């Protein structure tokens, strides 16, 4: 995620656009940078310290990730919002078959398109 986050921040800056950028961080940076060696992992935390301040918001998947990010990237902990990854509880699974009570899903309304995806740089780099 660090690569994608840094890329989008630089893209917005270079494009000169005012679109909002909200970053999502799922990794504990201190553990990743200790587990990986090389110039890349020496530079990434430094680039994050410089660039993450350009974001309009930062989301972390846990308090631990948020705390580590605040320490390592030197971003105010108050600037990081925690939104946990979803967990399929019994209630959610049971409600999955319920008919939704949403007016925009009623017959005669325009179609609704839902998109889902994942950016996997390991797979896309093979295409280049």
pLDDT in tens, 63-109: 999 999 999 999 999 999 999 988 888 888 888 888 878 888 888 88
Q: Which CATH class is domain 2-86?
A: alpha beta
d(CA 8, CA 31): 23
Confidence at 124, pLDDT banded by 50, 70, 90: very low
Can you say whether the dihedral through the CA atoms of 44, 30, 4, 47 is positive or negative?
Answer: negative
At 122, is the pLDDT very low, low, confident or very high (cuts 50, 70, 90)? Answer: low
Domain assignments of the chain as residue spans, ordered by start: 2-86
| Cα dihedral 51→60→30→67 (10° resolution) | 100
pLDDT tens string 20-51: 899 999 988 888 777 666 777 778 888 999 99
pLDDT digits (tens, 9 = 90+) for 1-27: 677 899 999 999 999 988 889 999 998
pTM > 0.75: yes or no: no
Q: In whole angstroms, what separates CA 22 from the centre of its chain?
A: 8
Please report the pLDDT score of residue 58 as a whole number. 94
> What pLDDT score does 125 carry?
43
Phi and psi at 11, nearest 5°, equal -60, -45
């Amino acid at each position: 995620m660090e690569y994608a986050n840094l890329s989008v921040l630089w893209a917005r800056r270079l494009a000169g656009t005012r679109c909002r950028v909200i970053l999502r961080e799922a990794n504990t940076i201190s553990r990743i940078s200790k587990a990986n060696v090389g110039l890349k992992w020496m530079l990434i935390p430094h680039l994050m310290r410089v660039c993450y301040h350009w974001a309009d918001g930062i989301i972390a998947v846990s308090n631990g990730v948020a705390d580590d990010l605040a320490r390592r990237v030197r971003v105010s902990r108050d600037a990081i919002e925690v939104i946990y990854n979803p967990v399929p509880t019994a209630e959610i699974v049971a409600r999955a078959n319920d008919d939704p009570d949403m007016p925009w899903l009623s017959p005669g309304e325009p179609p609704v398109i839902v998109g889902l995806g994942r950016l996997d740089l390991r797979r896309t780099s093979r295409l280049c």
